[in-house]
Amino acid sequence: MPTDRTLVITENMTVDGVIDASGGWFSPAGDAADVDFSDLEGTLREHMDAQDALLLGRVTFEAFREYWPKQADDTTGVTNHLNDVHKYVMSSTLKEPQWENTRVLRGDLVAEARALKEQPGGEIGVTGSISIAWKLIAAGLVDEYRLFVYPTILGRGRRLFEGEDVRSSLQLVEAKPFCSGVVLLTYRPRRSP
């Protein structure tokens, strides 16, 4: 029997748990001139090397498609990764993805995610895509959480763990601080035997 692929949710979040980047607190390219992101970028490269699929919601996908392919001077490797990785977009309205290596999924999210996990390959990443993440968490399909906690407090905004359907016991796998003040917290759900 084949082993399921690992589904990993990676989110950038504030200390108070906000993952909604619309407040302008997060710079996707890590380009703050006075902050050293080099060690964080090395970890991101390791994560990207393990990932050969990305599952996104339409809103996040369109934001990525509008931003990342235009980053000609990106030294982080994110642009190349996003251009090359297999992208799966959950959408009932997106007709033509207009980005190479992209497939639009129109079925039930949970069934589509289970089918992706059963295919051979590397990790399946989920980032941004708050509503997708919530549904995957509620369905118990997440194998690992990689939470990049930024030293910022917003006080309001959408959080990764909201609502009654997200109750889970997590096991800390790693806590890794970076020069920038960002801390990576890696958790895995505790599974019942």
26 lies in some domain: no
Confidence grade of residue 82 (pLDDT, cut at 50, 70, 90):
very high
Above pLDDT 70, what percent of the chain? 90
Residue written as tokens 């589904």? 7
- Confirm whether 25 is domain-assigned: no
Q: What is the CATH number of the domain that holds 77?
A: 3.40.430.10
Domain limits for position 184: 7-18+38-189
| 183-189 and 102-105 beta bridge pairing | unpaired
Question: Is 24 inside a domain boundary?
Answer: no
pLDDT at 1: 42
Q: Comparing C-alpha atoms, which of 173, 111, 176, 170 is closest to residue 149? A: 176
Q: Residue 163's pLDDT band (boundaries 50, 70, 90)?
A: low
Contact in structure between 13 and 160 (CB atoms under 8 Å): yes
**pLDDT (tens digit per residue) in 30-44:** 445 556 778 989 999
The residue that leads in pLDDT, 33 or 136, is: 136
Q: Residue 34: what pLDDT?
A: 55
Q: Tell me: pLDDT of 136 over 50.
A: yes
Average pLDDT over residues 146-151: 94
Give the model's pLDDT for residue 119: 94
Where residue 80 falls among pLDDT bands split at 50, 70, 90? Answer: very high
Residue 31 maps to a domain: no
Read off the pLDDT of residues 38-77 as tens digits, 9 standing for 90 and up: 898 999 999 999 999 999 999 999 999 999 999 988 888 9
pLDDT confidence of residue 191: 75
Number of domains in the chain: 1
Check the CA dihedral 17-147-78-101 and report its sign: negative
